[in-house]
Structure 1
Amino acid sequence: MNFHGKNAIVTGGSRGIGNAIAKALADNGANVMITYAHNDSAAEETVNYIKSKDVNGYKYKIDQSKIEDIKNFIDYVKSRFENVDILINNAGICPFMNFFDIDIATFEKVWKTNVESHFFITQGISKIMIEKNIRGKILFMSSISAIVGGEFQAHYTTTKSALNGLMHSLAIILGEHGIMVNSLEPGTILTDINSEDLSNIEKRNYMEKRIPLKRLGKPEDIAGPALFLVSDENTYINGSELLVDGGMLVNLQ
């Protein structure tokens, strides 16, 4: 897939799935801007990798639960990119908690980071696409948890279901401008967000046995499907949810 000359944004691009997607975009010729929340060294490493591919790389530190940070980020995008071709809404948090222990502060932090930020980032970036007459691609990172739920993820699964609903509406709204919007639903992927949870060997073995491919996913397993959906090769997939789980869902019967 050829992304030469394309400008792409990947939120939460310093680690995990976002990192794999950002690097894959750079590998294929895109200029890439990532957002990140905490890890300065990981963000710097990612940008250095991007630049090593002879493309432009940028990083922006942001608390995506704060609307003022989002407004400042949109201004930063305008200062670096003349236009935006691709937006991948990947950033998210999942503090595993018992349902009865989730307080309003925790719920709001997860909701604002996982949904509200992407609502307003997409609003700002899609305006740029429309103003520049860019037939862009927008991708939301949902989750298999939006379909099957999770015992310690009631707040998280709520946000991932919401992202799919948002995506469906935007596929209609932005489709009129030639902008295509879809979502990915990764299964169990080994990332920082679940590393502690999957450090339990019994639980990890159980999860692996439920997957027909008999292994947990890697961030790179998500990068390929993500790149296809935001590439010029995708000419007619709009408003769709793509499950990437190694066959786990169909094996849950």
Structure 2
Amino acid sequence: MLLKDKTVIVTGGSRGIGRAVAVACAQHGANVVISHHSHADETMAEIKALGRGAVAVKGDVADPHTAQLLVQAAVDHFGGVDVLVSNAGICPFHAFLDMPLETFQRTMEVNLHGAFYVTQAVANRMKDQGRGGSIIAISSISALVGGEFQTHYTPTKAGVHSLMQSTAIALGKYGIRCNSVMPGTILTDINKDDLSDPEKVAYFNKRIPLGRMGQPEDIGGAVVFLASDMAAYVTGASLLVDGGLFVNLQ
């Protein structure tokens, strides 16, 4: 119960990595507020079945107002906020030379601008509460490597990582820790079409030293650690959770 009675906000918490993170936090005793874009009934039911409080806020993280709504929901239902997991993100794969402006802008607005808005809103609340806190951004292995059809996406994930480095400096004086988690290839809705080719799946499994692609639940443990007091002296750091993919250059 590493997060007993803490309140955690998770953006994009209705499916994929966000859902797994929200459930993992609840398993460790946290109450959870999630943002979602469509529906969150299944995630809410799973958290409540664990005996923890759950609140869903429908909204677009690219809208700064959504960040304020999330903080207000945490305050109204649970009295404050202890942890933020900025997870919401999109990756509409597309070639570079004919990338539509709208695709580029939307990816930036959701992945990077949205992370900034919610981090700023939560940090202000944590500062006012006076008891510190933990902010975790879900970056990506894509912050470290390129992708032919991800020229709009990889810069946002590098930006999210950089945001955590800078906010770690800006917020350390308030006892607020800021770190990023960098998932490798995780099987989620965001890449299910890209990984529908069995040959591509076999290629990745061969490249990954642990022999398999990740599941969303693999990210949950890393987030719980960074959110907990076990990581009390960890800030400005990044945790690569990729089964060894990044280091396997041979």
Is 1:153–2:126 an aligned residue pair?
no
Secondary structure, counterpart of 1:116 in structure 2: helix
Distance 1:171 1:68 in 2: 24
Distance 1:144 1:12 in 2: 19
Aligned counterpart, 1:141: 138
Secondary structure, counterpart of 1:32 in structure 2: strand
Cα displacement (A) at 1:24: 0.9
Distance 1:46 1:32 in 2: 10
Aligned counterpart, 1:242: 239
Aligned counterpart, 2:59: 62
Gaps of 5+ in 1: none
Cα displacement (A) at 1:128: 0.8
Cα displacement (A) at 1:108: 1.1
- Report the aligned-residue RMSD: 1.2
Distance 1:237 1:73 in 2: 25
Q: Percent identity?
A: 48
Cα displacement (A) at 1:28: 1.2
The one-letter code of the counterpart of 2:176 is I
The one-letter code of the counterpart of 2:160 is L
Secondary structure, counterpart of 2:192 in structure 1: coil
Aligned counterpart, 2:119: 122
Is 1:198–2:195 an aligned residue pair?
yes
Aligned counterpart, 2:20: 20
Is 1:80–2:74 an aligned residue pair?
no
**Does the CA-based 8 Å contact 1:84-1:134 persist in structure 2?**
no
Aligned counterpart, 1:111: 108
Aligned counterpart, 1:95: 92
* Pairs aligned (count): 250
Gaps of 5+ in 2: none
- Scaled by the length of structure 1, the TM-score of the pair is 0.95
Is 1:165–2:184 an aligned residue pair?
no
Question: For residues 149-187 of structure 1, what are the alpha-carbon distances to aligned partners after superposition, in whole Å with 9 as ceiling and x for unaligned?
Answer: 111111110100001111111000111111111001000
**Does the CA-based 8 Å contact 1:114-1:159 persist in structure 2?**
yes
Question: For residues 114-151 of structure 1, what are the alpha-carbon distances to aligned partners after superposition, in whole Å with 9 as ceiling and x for unaligned?
Answer: 01111111111111111111220110000001101111
Is 1:30–2:52 an aligned residue pair?
no
- Scaled by the length of structure 2, the TM-score of the pair is 0.96
Cα displacement (A) at 1:71: 3.7
Regions of 4+ moved over 6 Å: none
